[in-house]
Structure 1
Amino acid sequence: MSTTTTAPAAAPAASRRGPRLSGLTWLVWRQHRAAFWTGLAVTAAAIAWFAYQRASMMNYLNGIGWPNPKSPDWSAGFETYHSQLSSTSSALGFLMPVLVGVFLGAPLIANDLEHGTGKLVTSQAVSRGRWLAMKLGMTVLVVTVCTAALSAAFGWWLGPVSKTNRELYWVVGGATGPLPVALTLLTTVAGVAIGMVLRRTLLSMVVTFGFAVTVQLVWAFRWMDLGNLVTLTTHDGVGAGTFPKLPETAYDTDQSYLTDSGELLAPSSCAKETEQAINACLDKNDIVGWSVDYLPPSELSPMLWTGSAILLALIAPVAVFIIWWGRKRLY
């Protein structure tokens, strides 16, 4: 008597674990996944490069006995690293906000309006406000993560030598902390608003480029105004060796001659051809010393945070405008 056996039923496929996007979140990510993944990949590659450059720099510094260099001309060998830090600072502080605003912010909604994609999405069971909020929120999240990671990694690279000289501390160091994040978010959100109003991708990118460059120029010329200046005066004359000694890495913003009556004169007022003529000018104006306005090193961090707070405060009304305009006048 033969018997038959029945093979056990195949076990159900193991359920997938881990977070899975769905609904509108999945749709927005899928629509912009090329831009998002590109940003994440560039961020990872840049951080790896920062780590490599820092390791190379530290090998050099350890070789010269840092922080007490064995040779007085150590800065000559450090010039390559100084140049790399300066160029990277320019890329993070200037180039990155412009590129992200132009190539991610401006086309984000303008491309949908130009090709009708947004109208198709919102014709389903998705409100305009929810669609806009998801696109803007996901973009802001990705930009924040990438720029914050880049800023932190660059600050880690710069840290060991940040107080070496004034340029590294104030100019290069100005591209660390919250500032690159705030600048990039502002140009990105403004680019989204510009694209939504103009409704043409290429035109929006051009206008966003002009806006981003303008923001950078205004910031470059005005951010020093956020600091609290300290004035240092002397009464030891203005000859050799009489210029006041400032704190290490302090940033002097103005230098003037100080007269006996307390009046300030520009040094150029006594810029004569001969030493005798210079001394005669100094005596004639009763110049007794120097008056120097400077920013102490302790001011840098508060200035960066204050400036970033101002930039982030500007983003809020732009984001509100995007949602308001999108709900009322998107189509």
Structure 2
Amino acid sequence: MSRPRGLWPTWRLHRAALLTSVAVLLALTVLLVLTGLRIRASYDQLGIDACRPACTPAQLNAFAEQAQRWGLWSQFLALLPGLLGMFVGAPLLAREYEAGTFRFAFTQGITPQRLLLTKVALLGGALLTVTLAFSAFFHWWYTPIALIKDRLAPWPYHADGIYLAAATLFCFALGVLAGAVLRRTVLAMVVTGAAWIAVFFADWYGLRPHFAQPLLARSATGGLGHGGRPWVVDSWVVDPSGHRLSDADWNAIVALHAGDRSWDQADYTTWILYEPGSRFWSFQALDAGWLTALAAAFVLATLWWLRRRPT
């Protein structure tokens, strides 16, 4: 059986970018394994598994400090989709136009649209596979930390589950479209990276908190924590007369009464607006849904653009 037309040239042209992406993800996976083993060793040494759910604050704080030290680098994984879109998606067509080789590529018995679909299927499928595998390793890595910081926490959320794969497809398709329209590799890369940063923060601050109605909890000051298992969307303190205090007001009150043993913080109440950790997979599905839908729309837009401006 003969291979699909355009598959071998696509591999030859883009194997460097694809293999580099795989190598970077493998290196990050090794880092996950090494730090994950250390985090698990600390988890066992502190006896957290044995004491659950009645671990002391000292045990949890000690584990949180070590886990943060070994896993601080993981927050930068949110940049991965943008980088993959910049270096794999953006040059896909932009480099052909920039070098003038599109005239040869589009006249080899295969239409520009079919060639594009072949490229997208090969490279997009490869990126989907490796990012899903990486997210599975990250899920294993984060499991002990989920005891003190839920999976809905913004930074780890973006490397866990299916979000990373969907976001990578989004950035890859966006890069392909930017390259087709702009026809300049560097410019298409810049547009792709900037667009991902904008989308990332728009999703984090504007969209995701509205996936489901946040729950409201009331606790004494110092009770249900801001760094606990739920994703805290907002929190505030109410004084004994029922007035909501700003952060500056509350900090000033705490500073004023520092060392005053007669001052009772119980007179002040903390209200917390939060998303429970049980919503992790439903949030992941919603995020993956709209990101994948936009990726498909970008591919269709690129096909339309190639039909409108084939040369």
Identify the residue that residue 236 of structure 2 maps to in structure 1.
255
Cross-structure match for 1:313: 293
Deviation at 1:99, TM superposition (A): 1.1
In the alignment, is the contact (CA less than 8 A) between 2:239 and 2:245 conserved in 1?
no
Letter in 1 for 2:100: G
Distance 1:298 1:20 in 2: 48
Unaligned ranges ≥5, structure 1: 1-18, 235-240, 276-286
1:209 equivalent to 2:193? Answer yes
Q: Secondary structure at the match of 1:162?
A: helix
1:305 deviates by 1.9
Distance 1:103 1:315 in 2: 17
Match of 1:83 among 64, 69, 75: 69
CA 160–202 in structure 1, closer or farther in 2 if over 3 Å, else same = same
**Matches for 1:42-191 after TM superposition, within 5 Å:** 42-68=24-50, 72-73=58-59, 75-76=61-62, 79-88=65-74, 90-93=75-78, 95-165=79-149, 170-175=153-158, 176-191=160-175
CA gap 1:106/1:78 in 2 versus in 1, 3 angstroms = same
Amino acid at match of 1:34: A
Mapping for residues 221-232 of structure 1, pairs under 5 Å: 221-222=205-206, 223-232=208-217
Question: 2:263 corresponds to which residue?
Answer: none
Write out per-residue CA displacement over residues 82-133 of structure 1, whole angstroms, 9 at most, x where no aligned residue: 2332322x2322x211211211111110000111222202212111111111
CA separation in 2, counterparts of 1:218 and 1:288? 33
TM-superposed CA distance for 1:80, in Å, is 4.2
Gap runs ≥5 in structure 2: 258-266
Is the CA contact (8 Å cut-off) linking 1:155 and 1:173 kept in structure 2? no
Query: Match of 1:229, as an amino acid?
Result: P
Q: Give the drift of 1:180.
A: 1.1
TM-score by length of 2: 0.81
Task: Judge conservation of contact 1:104–1:188 (CA < 8 Å) in 2.
Answer: yes
1:38 pairs with 2:20:
yes
**TM-score, structure 1 length as denominator?**
0.76
Instruction: From the CA coordinates, give the structure whose radius of gyration is larger.
Output: 1
Alpha-carbon distance in 1 for matches of 2:249, 2:189:
50
- CA separation of 1:213 and 1:82: change in aligned 2, threshold 3 A: same
Query: 1 CA distance for matches of 2:223 and 2:37?
Result: 38
User: Retained in 2: the 8 A contact 1:132–1:326?
Assistant: no
**Percent identity, aligned pairs only?**
24
Paired with 2:145 and 2:193, the residues of 1 have a C-alpha distance of 33
The 10-residue stretch of structure 1 (102-111 or 58-67) with the greater mean CA deviation from structure 2? 58-67
- Report the counterpart of residue 323 of structure 1 in structure 2: 303
CA–CA distance in structure 2, aligned partners of residues 45 and 98 of structure 1: 18
Q: CA deviation at 1:49?
A: 2.8
Q: Is the 8 A contact 2:67 2:145 kept in 1?
A: no
Q: Is contact 1:109-1:196 (8 Å) kept?
A: yes
How far apart, CA to CA, are the structure 2 residues paired with 1:40 and 1:316?
A: 23
> Could you report, residue by residue, the CA deviation over 1:279-305 in whole angstroms, capped at 9, with x for unpaired residues?
xxxxxxxx9955432222212332222
Equivalent-residue separation in structure 1 for 2:125 and 2:197 (angstroms): 23
Q: Aligned equivalents of 1:65 and 1:121: distance in 2?
A: 62
SS at match of 2:49: coil
Query: Matched residues in 2 for 1:48 and 1:36: separation?
Result: 19
Q: Which amino acid aligns with 1:79?
A: E
SS in 2 for 1:292: strand
* Equivalent residue number for residue 10 of structure 1: none
Residues 1:44 and 1:193: Cα distance change in structure 2 (over 3 Å): same
**Contact 2:124–2:169 at 8 Å: present in 1 too?**
yes
Measure the CA separation in 2 of the matches of 1:141 and 1:319: 14
Alignment check: 8 A CA contact 2:135 2:162 kept: yes
Decide whether the 8 Å contact of 2:173 with 2:296 is kept in 1. no
Cα 1:305/1:266, change in 2 over 3 Å: farther
